[in-house]
A = this chain, B = another copy of it.
Amino acid sequence: MRDHDGSGHDTDGRGYDKYAFEPFAVTVDLAVLTLRAGALHVLLVERGQEPYAGRWALPGGFLLPEESAEEAARRELAEETGLADVTGLHLEQLRTYSEPGRDPRMRVVSVAFAALVPDPHPDPVRGDPRPAPLEPHGGGDAAQARWTPYDAARGLAFDHDRIVADARTRVGAKLEYTCLATAFCPPEFTLGELQQVYETVWGTALDRPNFRRKVLAAPGFVEPVPGAARLTSGRGKPAAVYRAGPATALHPPLLRSPREGRPA
């Protein structure tokens, strides 16, 4: 029953017998998502080698012997984005892709993650001196890295199209019942910026007063930064500034309503 090697060995499925299991290569793949200019973007790297040379792919790489998939993902994230502090970024394990043949060379099992990062290129706004913009750079090899609009991220190497689609589906769903949206925002943000996260990921327009009412009604979602206000687009009334609250789940949830929300 646990004897899977077909050689008559019985190792209880976990025995020392090295012939009882097949070795696999294990990688992590990262769907690094951000919001730029009102559109969802994915960080892609150009492959320099076969297979799929010249094609775009998700950043990722092999697990090191002494690290977990989460640690490998965070290491790759730091390497690929050049971001100094990846400790605070939200990493979400999506699922593991293990179909034979997903890598044409060998058997590769890949643990996919979604990483949510604030806009690395915010438009400079008066009264909001944010840290210097972050530009992804290719690694030591020839590969280059680039932020790509979600809709243009098609024809990727391996099964990365599917991973990117799964990432968006998962993130869109978690926006409803978790506080995940703040992971796309800088440490301090306005409710308008938070609403743009929802509108961009969901692809729907939301009523601003209603959105505001629901966000403020969810305990621990956001908390006001006392005395702070910021002009978000140069004109209009300055918006109050909030930061992420202590909650992780959203009660009540911010549901994608079948009624509200026309196409954005």
Chain A interface (Cβ < 8 Å from any Cβ of B): 1-4, 10-16, 20-27, 47-49, 60-70, 79-80, 93, 95-96, 98-100, 103, 105-109, 111, 138-141, 143, 176-177, 251-253, 255, 258
Contact = CB atoms under 8 A, between A and B. Distances in A.
Given A1-B141, A12-B143, A96-B96, 5 more contacts: A1-B80, A22-B62, A23-B24, A24-B25, A93-B95
A100 B99 CA distance: 23
Assembly stoichiometry (copies): 2
A111 B96 contact: yes
A187 B63 CA distance: 43
A20 B79 CA distance: 17
Given A64-B4, A68-B98, A258-B251, A49 B12 contact: yes
A107 B24 CA distance: 11
Nearest to A143: B12
Given A47-B12, A98-B68, A24 B63 contact: yes
Contacts of A25: 21, 23-24
Contacts of A20: 62
A4 B61 contact: yes
B27 A26 contact: no
Contacts of A258: 251
Contacts of A63: 21-22, 24, 98, 109
B255 A66 contact: no
Contacts of A106: 16
A16 B103 CA distance: 11
A249 to B, nearest CB: 9
B2 A143 contact: yes
A174 B251 CA distance: 16
A68 B22 contact: no
A182 B251 CA distance: 25
9 contacts: A2-B61, A13-B27, A14-B105, A21-B63, A22-B26, A23-B24, A24-B109, A63-B98, A68-B100
Nearest to A173: B177
A16 to B, nearest CB: 6
A179 to B, nearest CB: 15
A143 to B, nearest CB: 7
Contacts of A138: 1
A10 B111 contact: no
Contacts of A255: 252-253
